[in-house]
């Protein structure tokens, strides 16, 4: 069967500054740069973010490869810790301005739409050590200064902007589940950080509109990793657990982004548990008035939950997951290497949820992908990775996206994570995701079978079984 997408559909891929550029000529360290300095053993094979896929030095060649596989849009991010020289004053580092200007111009010359994100887990670490990072509203204002600089310097050529990538991961990784530095466990701080990230996004959107970028064809949104929640059973306990997981993991950012309000049920729960954030009426007005134009949806896996084993009141420190436990559904299809379930139909459920409950806002799949370890084992004699598994994975997800579009959901694009194998947070280079492989010793980059396949999809706007 053939499924055809509309003419101007975005066929692309996503990366981020900290995962692709390398640390060359950076004045400030971000959270990950610093974490690697103090605890390199926390990173797979002790490989850090110093070189990554060397985009800082090889962006021209990298963009040429992206063009070769037919991408018409690519998302990356501007690193706060690279662009800004004095973090308080918001003055700029001239080398970074030159670099990002050249990158944007190279994308445009290659007829690839540059899509820019402003925060991808990469807060300058000094702001954490000095102020507690996203716990602080002063840091929210410094972030807005950085965002304004980006709009001012690059808004003439970049038309698609995003305020954060997966802000819930900052909350979970840094403040609840200890998988990102500073590995704190503090539910109350986690809730304040979630609020401040929402506020930062709304204030950046407010600045964008104050500066008039929407009048020059610009639009702005947020990128959320939506993990649709499925209860283990129809029992009222499992359904209630799934509802709270959905509120905390998805709706805490999605409702504010689209409707400008936190879900009342979530606010009531935080009040009951004595962990509600500190907010002011003025801030809540800013959140209400500055909703997104466009939504990016990162989708890797669904979330299956069951009622927790222990009663909420028997748990010590407050944590949101006292209300829900992960459920390992027997027989579910897994990507063993990454430990994530593969369930493409969830993308259709997301499409319909956005259509029915979120104003049918324009959205795109801003990340989706399959991380495979030891991918060299699938290379043929000329070094081309024969990644049929990735082709099948993308095809199945696109089929469900297409079904959602057929039923009226306003999806305008699909981006794979990632164009070129890049460095990944604590997993470093363990799992490879790209259309193009990177040899991390020689920096030789080779298009995989999936990259050649995707070119045909992009050129024909059609996915064929």
Select the span of 148-156, 393-401, 422-430, 439-447 touching ligand BGP (CB under 6 A).
422-430
Output 120 or 355, the one with its CB closest to ligand BGP. Answer: 120
In this structure, are residues 398 and 343 in contact, taking their beta carbons and an 8 Å threshold?
no
Rounded to 5°, the CA angle 231-355-114 comes to 105
| 304/326 Cα distance (integer angstroms) | 6
The answer to whether residue 265 is catalytic is: no
- Looking at 28, 338, 432, 448, which residue binds ligand BGP (CB under 6 A)? 338
Output 5 or 364, the one with its CB closest to ligand BGP. Answer: 364
Select the span of 69-77, 190-198, 417-425, 442-450 touching ligand BGP (CB under 6 A).
417-425
Output 153 or 350, the one with its CB closest to ligand BGP. Answer: 350
| Burial status of residue 186 (CB atoms within 10 A of its CB: 0-12, 13-18, 19 or more) | middle
> How does 233-251 read in b/e, with b if 16+ C-beta sit within 10 Å?
eeeeebeebbbbbbbbbbb
Q: Does 424 bind ligand BGP (CB under 6 A)?
A: yes
Which of 253, 164, 256, 163 lies closest to 213, judged by CA? 163
Output 180 or 322, the one with its CB closest to ligand BGP. Answer: 180
DSSP string, 75-95: EEE--HHHHBSSTTTT-B-HH
The answer to whether residue 237 is catalytic is: no
User: Measured from the CB of residue 94, what is the shortest distance to ligand BGP in angstroms?
Assistant: 28
Is residue 302 classed as helix, strand or coil in its secondary structure? Answer: coil
Give Cα 24 to chain centroid, integer Å.
23
- Count CA atoms within 13 Å of residue 73 on its CB side: 20
- Looking at 425, 429, 435, 454, which residue binds ligand BGP (CB under 6 A)? 425
Which of 353, 359, 408 lies closest to 258, judged by CA? 359
Q: Which of residues 354-393 bind ligand BGP (CB under 6 A)?
A: 367, 371
Q: Does 427 bind ligand BGP (CB under 6 A)?
A: yes
Which of 270, 127, 151, 149 lies closest to 208, judged by CA? 151
User: Measured from the CB of residue 300, what is the shortest distance to ligand BGP in angstroms?
Assistant: 7
Catalytic residue among 135, 166, 283, 375: 166
Q: Does 181 bind ligand BGP (CB under 6 A)?
A: no
Instruction: Give the count of residues interacting with ligand BGP (CB under 6 A).
Output: 14
Output 15 or 93, the one with its CB closest to ligand BGP. Answer: 15
Return the active site residues.
Answer: 166, 367
Residues that bind ligand BGP (CB under 6 A): 16, 19, 165-166, 225, 298, 338, 367, 371, 417, 424-425, 427, 431
């Amino acid at each position: 069967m053939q499924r055809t997408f509309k003419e101007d559909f975005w066929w692309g891929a996503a990366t981020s500054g900290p995962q692709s550029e390398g640390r060359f000529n950076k004045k400030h360290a971000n959270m990950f740069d610093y974490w690697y300095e103090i605890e390199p053993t926390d990173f797979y094979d002790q490989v850090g973010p110093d070189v990554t896929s060397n985009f800082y030095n090889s962006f021209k060649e990298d963009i040429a490869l992206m063009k070769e596989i037919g991408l018409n849009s690519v998302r990356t991010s501007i690193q706060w810790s690279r662009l800004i020289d004095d973090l308080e004053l918001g003055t700029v580092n001239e080398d970074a301005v030159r670099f990002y200007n050249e990158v944007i111009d190279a994308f445009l010359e290659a007829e690839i739409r540059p899509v820019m994100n402003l925060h991808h887990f990469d807060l300058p670490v000094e702001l954490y050590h000095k102020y507690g990072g996203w716990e602080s509203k002063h840091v929210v204002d410094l972030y807005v200064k950085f965002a304004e600089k980006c709009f001012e310097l690059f808004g003439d050529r970049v038309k698609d902007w995003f305020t954060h990538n997966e802000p819930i991961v900052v909350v979970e990784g840094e403040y609840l589940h200890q998988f990102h530095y500073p590995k704190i466990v503090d539910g109350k701080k986690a809730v304040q950080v979630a609020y401040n990230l929402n506020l930062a996004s709304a204030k950046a959107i407010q600045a964008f509109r104050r500066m008039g970028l929407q009048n020059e064809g610009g639009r702005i949104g947020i990128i959320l990793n939506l993990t649709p929640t499925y209860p283990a059973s129809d029992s009222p306990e499992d359904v209630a657990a799934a509802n709270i997981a959905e509120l905390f993991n998805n709706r805490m950012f999605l409702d504010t982004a689209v409707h400008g309000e936190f879900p009342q049920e979530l606010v009531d729960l935080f009040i009951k548990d004595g962990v509600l954030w500190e907010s002011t009426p003025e801030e809540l007005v800013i959140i209400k008035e500055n909703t997104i134009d466009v939504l990016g949806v990162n989708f890797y896996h669904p979330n299956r939950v069951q009622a927790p084993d222990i009663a909420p009141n028997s748990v010590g420190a407050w944590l949101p997951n006292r209300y829900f436990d992960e459920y390992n559904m027997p027989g579910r299809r897994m990507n063993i290497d990454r430990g994530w379930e593969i369930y493409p139909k969830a993308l259709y459920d997301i499409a319909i949820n956005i259509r029915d409950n979120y104003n049918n806002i324009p959205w795109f799949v801003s990340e989706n992908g399959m991380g495979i370890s030891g991918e060299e084992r699938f290379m043929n004699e000329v070094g081309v990775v024969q990644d049929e598994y990735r082709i099948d994975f993308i095809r199945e997800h696109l089929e469900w996206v297409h079904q959602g579009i057929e039923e009226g959901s306003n999806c305008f694009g699909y981006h794979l994570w990632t164009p070129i194998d890049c460095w990944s947070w604590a997993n470093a280079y363990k799992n490879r995701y790209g259309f193009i492989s990177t040899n991390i010793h020689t920096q030789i980059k080779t298009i995989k079978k999936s990259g050649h396949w995707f070119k045909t999809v992009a050129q024909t706007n059609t996915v064929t079984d």
